[in-house]
């Protein structure tokens, strides 16, 4: 059975747009027998990495900061698939997600190895997990995800989790706008199907990823929103 750990990094937690995508994705995965757990970073006490490198030098594999991260790292070590779900904040991830990712430093070794023409820090542990990125942003254009995607590609290249899919939705702010759910039916189905695919096929299929990246529907709605007929102003957005 696939063990999926979802790390949710929106400051809005379960009431935000990222969570709509994540919940559908996990429902799809559960329908194929995956065991899932969602961790809301906003509910945890995760301090910033202080850059002391204690987890490399003084107490290898263990961070000197005593907070909720130790328990979370244990969960990361046990999962088959790590889902990192964050909205775009200032062209990248939220600070909650970044703090979490910085604090993953104990999972890698301090020394360098050379693979091909790349230098890497090897993993401290043998067990590997794959990664899925789930994100949405305010603007109706894929370009807003460039920095975030680049970050995840580098992470993969450096050997920290093979990317098996990215579920991205530009203009994700529309997800919670009353009256729009019907327009976004294809998106909802794709979120669910992505969860199914990741269990059945080991990755999200490119055609499923494409559906949630569709700019045309969302851009059309976006330019009329919130004054378009049938829409109740800004209701549902905040």
Ligand X SMILES: Cc1cc2nc3c(=O)[nH]c(=O)nc-3n(C[C@H](O)[C@H](O)[C@H](O)COP(=O)(O)O)c2cc1C
> Counting contacts by CB under 6 A, is residue 136 touching ligand X?
yes
Among residues 25, 40, 89, 225, which is the contact residue for ligand X, using CB under 6 A? 89
* Shortest distance, position 144 Cβ to ligand X, whole Å: 4
At residue 162, the 3 state secondary structure works out as strand
> Counting contacts by CB under 6 A, is residue 16 touching ligand X?
yes
> Interacting stretch for ligand X, rule CB under 6 A, among 15-23, 29-37, 99-107, 210-218?
15-23
- Contact between 30 and 105 (Cβ < 8 Å): no
Among residues 34, 173, 199, 231, which is the contact residue for ligand X, using CB under 6 A? 173
Size, binding site for ligand X by CB under 6 A: 17
Among residues 17, 36, 131, 208, which is the contact residue for ligand X, using CB under 6 A? 17
> Counting contacts by CB under 6 A, is residue 238 touching ligand X?
no
- Contact between 184 and 151 (Cβ < 8 Å): no
Q: Which helix (H) or strand (E) holds 234?
A: none
Among residues 56, 139, 183, 188, which is the contact residue for ligand X, using CB under 6 A? 139
DSSP output for 44-62: S--PPP----HHHHTSTT-
* Integer angstrom CA distances of residue 190 from 105, 194, 228: 33, 6, 26
DSSP output for 143-196: GGGHHHHHHHHHHHHTTS-EEEEEEEETTGGGGGSTT-TTTTHHHHHHHHHHHH
* Shortest distance, position 234 Cβ to ligand X, whole Å: 12
C-alpha 230, offset from chain centre: 32
> Interacting stretch for ligand X, rule CB under 6 A, among 38-46, 66-74, 89-97, 188-196?
89-97
> Counting contacts by CB under 6 A, is residue 165 touching ligand X?
no
Residues contributing to the site for ligand X (CB under 6 A): 10, 12, 16-18, 87-91, 136-139, 144, 172-173
């Amino acid at each position: 059975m696939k063990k999926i750990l979802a790390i949710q990094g929106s400051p809005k937690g379960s009431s935000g747009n990222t969570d709509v995508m994540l919940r559908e994705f996990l429902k799809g995965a559960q329908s194929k027998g995956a065991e899932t757990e969602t961790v809301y970073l906003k509910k945890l006490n995760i301090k910033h990495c202080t850059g002391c490198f204690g987890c490399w030098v003084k107490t290898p594999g263990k961070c000197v900061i005593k907070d909720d991260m130790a328990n979370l790292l244990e969960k990361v070590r046990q999962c088959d698939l790590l889902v990192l779900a964050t909205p775009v904040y200032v062209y990248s991830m939220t600070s909650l997600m970044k703090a979490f990712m910085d604090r993953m430093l104990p999972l890698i070794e301090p020394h360098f190895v050379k693979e091909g023409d790349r230098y890497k820090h090897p993993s401290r542990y043998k067990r590997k997990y794959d990664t899925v990125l789930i994100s949405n942003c305010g603007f109706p254009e894929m370009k807003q995800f460039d920095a975030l995607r680049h970050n995840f590609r580098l992470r993969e290249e450096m050997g920290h989790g093979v990317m098996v899919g990215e579920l991205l939705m530009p203009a994700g702010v529309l997800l919670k706008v009353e009256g729009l759910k019907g327009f976004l039916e294809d998106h909802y189905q794709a979120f669910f199907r992505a969860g199914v695919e990741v269990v059945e096929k080991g990755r999200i299929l490119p055609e499923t990823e494409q559906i949630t990246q569709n700019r045309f529907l969302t851009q059309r709605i976006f330019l009329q929103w919130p004054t378009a007929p049938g829409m109740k102003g800004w209701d549902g957005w905040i």
